[in-house]
Structure 1
């Protein structure tokens, strides 16, 4: 199954979160670029990087933000694993990934917690693992 399919299955209650996370890590995602960096938003003290499973989902996001449909968003293609293993830890503060945020049945948050991001930047990792951080 694709990441999109795994998200739909988890949201409906029939999927397995560990399979979805594996698919997320293997998926090539589209991450819009804005102002020289990846487009993101902050909510509740967490920075959320936007990522999309395909151009259709990214176009709906752009339309929801009022972007003219004739305007193409600049984006990079990046593995989900790279987003959480390399990009998120390189940014200041807790950072997660918001996938397909404008798609009611296909959206999913991958928060900055143990098992998703590296332990040294996870917000829920015990102090003994992080050296007292």
Structure 2
């Protein structure tokens, strides 16, 4: 099953979280590029977590662009594996980071938070890193 199907199954209470993460890691996602200084991938910070936006196809990205009122603009994006986002991009962030997939789709979005099993353990917020407080 493809990622959108796994998202639907999990949201319906019928999915397997491990299969969902596997499909996420194998999926080629479209990550919009940020404008302005520094460029990079478009993201937002919510609740102390940096969320990278990613979309399963151009239609999902277009819905996001429309929701932001920028439908008349052309948006550049990077095609990237979900695994590359969490294994290579997340470790480059100063602080916790995850991936928000298809955020403009009310019933088709899914968040992949910075927890063990999704991001590398060294960057997971739910792993004891042995830091003294």
- TM class by smaller structure: over 0.9
Residues 1:113 and 2:115 are matched in the alignment = yes
Shift of 1:10: 0.4
Match of 1:45 among 44, 48, 51: 48
Residue 8 of structure 1 aligns to a residue in which SS?
A: helix
Shift of 1:132: 2.8
Shift of 1:51: 0.1
Paired with 2:123 and 2:17, the residues of 1 have a C-alpha distance of 21
Stretches of structure 2 lacking an aligned partner (at least 5 in a row): none
The equivalent residue for 1:63 is 66
Match of 1:104 among 92, 103, 106: 106
Paired with 2:20 and 2:122, the residues of 1 have a C-alpha distance of 23
Q: CA RMSD in A?
A: 1.1
Residue 42 of structure 1 aligns to a residue in which SS?
A: strand
Shift of 1:21: 0.4
Residues 1:78 and 2:71 are matched in the alignment = no
Residue 106 of structure 2 aligns to a residue in which SS?
A: coil
Paired with 1:105 and 1:95, the residues of 2 have a C-alpha distance of 23
Paired with 2:9 and 2:55, the residues of 1 have a C-alpha distance of 17
Shift of 1:71: 1.7
Shift of 1:120: 0.8
Shift of 1:131: 4.2
Residue 97 of structure 1 aligns to a residue in which SS?
A: strand
